[in-house]
Amino acid sequence: MAERADDRLVRLLGLVAFLDGHGPAPVAELAERFGVSERQIRDDVDQLWVTGTPGYWPDDLIDFDADAVERGVVHLTNARGLTRPLRLGTREAVALVAALRALLDSPPVQADADRAQLVRSALAKLTAATGEAASAVDVRLAHATDPEVMAAVTAALAGRRRLLIRYVTAADVVGEREVDPARLLTQDGSAYLLAWCRRAHGRRTFRLDRVLAATVLDAPVDAALVAAVDVDVDVAASVAGDRLAPEVTVTFASRARWLAEELPWEELTELADGAFAMRLRVANPAWLHGLLLAAAPMVLAVDPPDVAVQVAESARAALAAYGVS
């Protein structure tokens, strides 16, 4: 896909300002710094070479030392006044400041004083530079986690050590397992530990508020296993299901609309009166069972029907425990 013109403009302006302040730089270093390919940097240089002030005679144009470019070094010789880095736009400042504030306030950062200090100083320097409150957006990440568990998990990640956890599954079964932690995903709703599980011999996602206890072990993690596990993952999808899991379709009344953004559905069908049918793949029946019990007043139908029968039976058993019919 072609790059957006405004993204490219920001990089072109950035390249000139950086080279003006820093001096000649190898193409490879520029590619690394601006997060693009070396080919892109060369294209950017070619683009800059033909831009300048009206008239566009040789002296009007941004210019480079052509011999240096041949050798793979970008040496700016005429910046045409673009010597200073561009300030942040309002939207950019808002997005970055809000992200830093959320990070600073998050449990994994608060669990370690040095880490919190580092985020605080980055935030202070950034707000000094943006010169505005940038408080239009206010984000808070998940908090409901035992601080001791959080401290152990972040210490194991930082020290690349194995972790012993006591974990209760969605089916309410408690067990101990040794895991090689790869990543701590702190979301706005919940926090998850992504790890290689030595008991299951596979990659597993653990919801942190279901980790009852965590102990950092002396053994180092297996770097190869962690690397295999540590890929960007859609937690919601990995928690609820996979490609081979059975399909269930739940029809909700319109007031359950918010569930549509909470659940990893496969397909959403709009029905009359704002009702909607949500098709889910469910690897974990206990999870769906719990969801249907909790959301029952908003559920209009469940397909296949035997799922509804099981849920209704367990609800009747629960009502008997309450002495209610």
Quick note: the x/- pattern for other proteins over 45-84, rule CB under 8 A, is --xxxxxxxxxxxx-xxx-----------------xxx-x
Q: How far is the CB of 120 from other proteins (least distance, A)?
A: 10
Q: Which 192-251 positions form the footprint of other proteins (CB under 8 A)?
A: 194, 209-210, 212, 235, 249, 251
Q: Does 258 bind other proteins (CB under 8 A)?
A: yes
Q: Which 139-168 positions form the footprint of other proteins (CB under 8 A)?
A: 139-142, 146, 154, 157-158, 160, 168
With CB under 8 A as the contact rule, the residue among 28, 71, 77, 131 that binds other proteins is 131
For β-strands 25-26 and 73-74, DSSP reports them as: antiparallel
Rounded Cα–Cα distance for residues 227 and 314 (Å): 42
Q: How far is the CB of 156 from other proteins (least distance, A)?
A: 8
Quick note: the x/- pattern for other proteins over 1-40, rule CB under 8 A, is ---xxxxxxxxxxxx-xx--xx---------xxxx-----
Q: Hey, CA dihedral for 58, 63, 65, 69, is it positive or negative?
A: negative
Rounded Cα–Cα distance for residues 194 and 205 (Å): 5
Q: How far is the CB of 244 from other proteins (least distance, A)?
A: 23
Binding window for other proteins (CB under 8 A); candidates: 68-76, 137-145, 198-206, 239-247 = 137-145
Q: How far is the CB of 89 from other proteins (least distance, A)?
A: 3
Q: How far is the CB of 303 from other proteins (least distance, A)?
A: 8
Q: Which is nearer to other proteins, 244 or 305 (CB)?
A: 305
Closest CA to 64 of 24, 9, 27: 24
Q: Which is nearer to other proteins, 244 or 261 (CB)?
A: 261
CB contact at 8 A, 233 and 205:
yes
Stated as kind and residue range, the H or E segment containing 17 is helix 5-22
Q: Which is nearer to other proteins, 244 or 295 (CB)?
A: 295
**Crossing angle of the two packed helices 113-130 and 90-105, in degrees rounded to 10:** 160
Q: Which is nearer to other proteins, 127 or 244 (CB)?
A: 127
CB contact at 8 A, 270 and 288:
no
CB contact at 8 A, 306 and 318:
no
With CB under 8 A as the contact rule, the residue among 103, 216, 280, 282 that binds other proteins is 103
Rounded Cα–Cα distance for residues 310 and 140 (Å): 37
With CB under 8 A as the contact rule, the residue among 1, 188, 218, 243 that binds other proteins is 188
Task: For residue 138, give both structure tokens.
Answer: 């206010």
CA distances from 236 to 26, 62, 105, 191 (A): 42, 49, 23, 11
Q: Which is nearer to other proteins, 110 or 245 (CB)?
A: 110
With CB under 8 A as the contact rule, the residue among 76, 106, 197, 214 that binds other proteins is 106
CB contact at 8 A, 165 and 192:
no
Residue 29 makes CB contacts below 8 A (sequence gap 6+) with none
Rounded Cα–Cα distance for residues 8 and 6 (Å): 5
Q: Which is nearer to other proteins, 128 or 244 (CB)?
A: 128
Q: Which 281-320 positions form the footprint of other proteins (CB under 8 A)?
A: 289-297, 299-303, 305, 308-309, 311-320
